[in-house]
Amino acid sequence: MLAHRQQKLAIVMFIVVGAALAVGLLLVALNEGINVFYTPTEVSSGDVSQGQNFRVGGMVKTGSLVKDGLDGTEVNFLATDFCNDILVSFSGPLPDLFREGQGVVADGALDEDGVFRATQILAKHDENYMSAEVKASLDAAETETAEVCHQ
Amino acid sequence: MIPELGNFSLVLALSLAVLLSVLPMVGVYRNNQLLMTLSRPICSGIWVFMVVSFSCLAWAFLHDDFSVAYVARNSNTLLPWYYKFTAVWGGHEGSLLLWVLMVASWTYAVSLFSRNLPLDILARVLSVMGIISVCFLLFMLLTSNPFDRLMLNTPAEGTDLNPLLQDFGLIVHPPFLYMGYVGFSVAYAFAITALLTGKLDAAWARWTRPWTNTAWAFLTIGIALGSWWAYYELGWGGWWFWDPVENVAFMPWLVGTALIHSLAVTEKRGVFKSWTVLLAIAAFSLSLLGTFIVRSGLITSVHAFAVDPERGLVLLAILLLVIGASLFLYALRAPVVKGSASYTATSREVFLLINNILLVVSTAGILLGTLYPLIHEAINGEANMVSVGPPYFNTIFLPLMAILAAFLTIGSISRWKKTSLSYLKQQLMKVLVSSVVLGVLVPLIVTREVNIGIFVAVTLAFWIVFGIARDIQVKTANKTSIVAGLKSLSLSYYGMQIAHLGMAVIILGICLTSHYSVERDVRLAPGDQLEIGRYTFIFEGVSPVQGPNYVADAGEITVLKNGESYLSLFPEKRTYRATGSVQTEADINVGFFRDLFAALGDPRGEDAWVVRIHVKPFVFWIWLGAFLMAGGGITAILDKRYRVRETKNLKAKTSEQVKSSGSTDLLGEAS
Identify whether B306 is part of a domain: no
* Interfacial residues of A (vs B; Cβ cutoff 8 Å): 3-4, 6-7, 10-11, 14-15, 18-19, 22, 25-26, 28-30, 32-37, 55, 67-68, 72-73, 91-94, 96-98, 107, 123, 125-127, 129, 131-133, 136, 140
CA atoms within 13 A on the CB side of B321: 13
**Are β-strands B386-388 and A34-38 bridged in parallel, bridged antiparallel, or unpaired?**
antiparallel
Residues in chain B: 671
Residue B605 maps to a domain: yes
Q: What residues have CB less than 8 Å from A63, skipping those under 6 apart?
A: A100
pLDDT of residue B661: 35
B641 near B670, Cβ under 8 Å?
yes
Whether residue B612 contacts residue B520, with contact meaning beta carbons closer than 8 Å, is answered with yes
Q: Closest residue of A to B391, CA-based?
A: A33
What percent of chain A stands above pLDDT 90?
A: 7
Distance from CA of B625 to the nearest CA of A (A): 27
User: Can you state the percent helix, strand and coil of chain B, rounding each to 5?
Assistant: 65, 10, 25
Among B365, B344, B221, B338, smallest CA distance to B277 is for B338
Same domain, residue pair B508 and B640: yes
Q: Which of B124, B149, B166 is the last residue of a domain?
A: B166
pLDDT of residue A125: 45
Please answer whether residues B347 and B418 qualify as being in contact, where contact means their C-beta atoms are separated by less than 8 angstroms. Answer: yes
Give the integer Cα–Cα distance in Å for B138 and B17.
10
Q: Is B574 helix (H, G, I), strand (E, B) or coil?
A: strand
Q: Which residues of B363-378 are buried (b: 16+ CB within 10 A; e: fewer)?
A: bbbbbbbbbbbeebbe
| Beta-carbon count within 10 A of A6 CB | 12
Q: What's the rounded Cα separation, in Å, for the pair B643 and B119?
A: 17
Test mutation, A21, A34, A41, A139, chain B, max B CBs within 10 A: A34
Do B589 and B658 share a structural domain? Answer: no
Kindly determine whether residue A33 and residue B390, on different chains, have CB atoms separated by under 8 Å: yes
Please tell me which of the candidates A7, A93, A132 has its beta carbon nearest to residue B345.
Answer: A7
Pair (B159, B30) in one structural domain: yes
Domain identity same for B427 and B532: no
Cβ separation B584–A131 shorter than 8 A: no
Nearest to B345 among A10, A35, A37 (CB): A10
Percentage with pLDDT > 70 across chain A: 77
Residue B274 lies in a domain: no
Residue A4 CB neighbours (<10 A): 10
Intervals of chain B under pLDDT 50: 301-306, 646-671
| Contact predicate B174/B95, CB 8 Å | yes
A91 and B521 in contact by Cβ < 8 A?
A: yes
CB B40 within 8 A of CB B111: yes
Residue in chain A closest to B385 (alpha carbons) equals A37
Same domain, B1 and B69: yes
Question: Minimal Cα–Cα distance from A34 to chain B, Å?
Answer: 5
| Confidence (pLDDT) at B409 | 94
Does the distance separating the beta carbons of B357 and A33 come in below 8 Å? no
Q: Cβ separation of B523 and A72 shorter than 8 Å?
A: yes
Give whole-number Cα distances, B441 to B454, B506, B516, B618, in Å: 11, 20, 17, 18
Instruction: Count how many pairs of residues, chain A against chain B, have C-beta atoms within 8 Å.
Output: 133
* DSSP strand pairing (A54-60 vs A34-38): parallel
Residue closest to B528 by CA, chosen among B597, B587, B613: B613
Q: Indicate the helix (H) or strand (E) that contains B1.
A: none
B43 lies in the same domain as B88: yes
Residues of chain A positioned with their CB less than 8 A from the CB of B372? 30, 34
* Contact call for residues B86 and B171 (beta carbons, < 8 A): yes
Q: Which of B107, B142, B166 is the last residue of a domain?
A: B166
Residues in chain A: 151
Which pLDDT score is estimated for B662?
Answer: 36
Sheet arrangement for strand B609-617: B518-524, B609-617, B594-603, B587-589
Nearest-Cα distance to chain B for A67, in Å, is 6
* End-to-end alpha carbon distance in chain B: 60
CB contact under 8 A, A29 and B369: yes
For residue B342, list chain A residues with Cβ-Cβ distance below 8 A. 3-4, 7
In whole angstroms, give the CA distance from residue B328 to residue B316. Answer: 17
Torsion from C-alpha of B571, B572, B573, B579, nearest 10 degrees: -140
Report pLDDT digits (tens) over B521-560. 898 999 999 999 899 999 999 999 998 889 999 999 999 9
pLDDT of residue B668: 37
Cβ within 8 Å of residue B612, ≥6 positions away:
A92, A93, B236, B237, B519, B520, B521, B586, B597, B598, B599, B600, B601
Asked if B6 and B102 count as a contact pair (C-beta separation under 8 A), the reply is no
Name the residue among A28, A36, A94 with its Cβ closest to that of B386: A36
**Contact status, residue B181 vs residue B295, Cβ threshold 8 Å:** no
Q: With contacts defined as CB-CB under 8 Å, which chain A residues touch B365?
A: 22, 25-26, 29
In A, minimum Cα distance to B403 occurs at: A18
Pick the more confident residue, B217 or A57: B217
pLDDT on residue B488: 85
The answer to whether B70 and B141 are in contact (CB under 8 A) is no
Could A37 and B386 be called an inter-chain contact, meaning their C-beta atoms sit closer than 8 Å?
Answer: yes
What does the pLDDT look like over B164-198, one tens digit per residue? 788 887 788 889 999 999 999 999 999 999 999 98
Distance CA(B254)–CA(A77), nearest Å, equals 42
Shortest CA gap A113–chain B (Å)? 25
Q: How far apart (Å, rounded) are the C-alpha atoms in residues B579 and B159? A: 7
Reference B346, options B261, B425, B266; nearest CA is: B425
Number of separate domains in chain B: 3
Q: Give residue B649's pLDDT.
A: 45
Does some domain include residue B251? Answer: no
CA atoms of B257 and B180, how far apart (whole Å):
12
Q: How many CB atoms lie within 10 A of CB A46?
A: 7
Residue of B nearest to A67 (CA): B604
Q: Which class for B451: exposed (0-12), middle (13-18), buried (19 or more C-beta within 10 A)?
A: middle
- For residues B340 and B105, what is the distance between their CA atoms, to the nearest angstrom? 37
Whole-angstrom Cα distance, residue B190 to residue A4?
Answer: 31
- Quote the radius of gyration of chain A (alpha carbons, Å): 22
- Residue that finishes a domain, picked among B148, B166, B184: B166
Put simply, the answer to whether B604 touches A30 (Cβ < 8 Å) is no
pLDDT at A12 over 60: yes
Q: Is residue B524 part of a domain?
A: yes
Domain region containing B586: 518-617
Residues B508 and B643 in one domain: yes
Do B637 and B600 lie in one domain? The reply is: no
B140, part of any domain? yes
Q: Looking at chain A, which residue has its C-alpha nearest residue B377? A: A133
Q: In this predicted structure, what is the pLDDT of residue B654?
A: 40
Mutate: best of B395, B400, B550, B613, partner A, most A CBs <10 A = B395
Q: In whole numbers, what is the pLDDT of chain A averaged over residues?
A: 76
Q: Which residue of A has its CA nearest to B395?
A: A29
Nearest-CA distance from A92 to chain B in Å? 5
Is the Cβ–Cβ distance between B94 and B57 less than 8 Å?
A: yes
Q: List, for residues A100-133, the tens digit of each pLDDT value.
A: 877 788 888 998 888 999 988 875 544 444 555 5
- Decide the pairing of beta strands A85-91 and A116-121: parallel
Q: What is the 3-state secondary structure (H, E, C) of A49-102?
A: CCCCCEEEEEEECCCCCECCCCCCCEEEEEEECCCCEEEEEEECCCCCCCCCCC
**Nearest neighbour of B389 by CB, restricted to A33, A125, A133:** A33
Report yes or no on B220 lying in a domain: no
Rounded-to-integer distance, Cα B62 and Cα B170, Å: 17
In A, minimum Cα distance to B573 occurs at A96
Statement to judge: residues B564 and B600 lie in one domain? yes
Q: Are residues B451 and B528 in the same domain?
A: no
Question: Is B597 a member of any domain?
Answer: yes
Domain co-membership, B430 together with B568: no
- Residue B306 pLDDT: 43
> B523 and B607: one domain?
yes
Structure confidence by residue, pLDDT tens digits, B640-669: 878 765 444 444 444 334 333 333 333 433
